[in-house]
Amino acid sequence: MKRILVIDDDPQILNLLTEMLHTDSHEVKTVTNGRLALRLIREQGPWDVILCDILMPQQDGIETMLAIRKLGIGQKVVAMTGGGRYLDIDQIQTMIRDFGVPALLRKPFSLAQLLEAIDQVHAEPIP
């Protein structure tokens, strides 16, 4: 069982990911934006894995992942996006790898893809 924080502005995605992760017996906490996530991380420390959407209002996922990295806690993150029409996916993958995020899930994704990404990131050395 892993402690997983999910950051996404879409309540339906949050509910779906919570259900998916609970089927694999993970502890899940959800927040709707990066600012709430950063406050939670500061209060509770690092999570086993964070799932972070890229396209969000207020503070997007790129800003959130950079802020998490600046905390210097070695937090493991999986990026998620459904914005393939609006984003250059190759550019996003290069950018997130540059600041220690090795995995990008493109929505929609299966439970198997989700669990594989979580296991891959969790097994990586601390960035």
Q: What is the per-residue pLDDT across 41-72, written as a single tens digit (0 to 9) for each?
A: 999 999 999 999 999 988 899 999 999 999 99
Tell me: pLDDT of 31 over 90.
yes
Tell me: pLDDT of 127 over 70.
no
Is 112 exposed, middle or buried, given 0-12, 13-18 or 19+ CB atoms closer than 10 A? exposed
Token representation of residue 19:
């259900």
Residue 95 binned pLDDT confidence (cut-offs 50, 70, 90): confident
Q: Which residues of 24-55 are buried (b: 16+ CB within 10 A; e: fewer)?
A: eebebebbbbbbbbbebbeeeebbbbbbbbbb
| Cα distance between residue 76 and residue 47, in whole Å | 8
**Residue 100 has what pLDDT?**
84
**Residue 92 has what pLDDT?**
86
**Residue 86 has what pLDDT?**
66
Tell me how far CA of residue 72 lies from CA of 69, 108, 121, 126, 127, in angstroms. 6, 31, 17, 10, 9
**Residue 28 has what pLDDT?**
98
| Cα distance between residue 39 and residue 20, in whole Å | 25
Reported pTM: 0.93
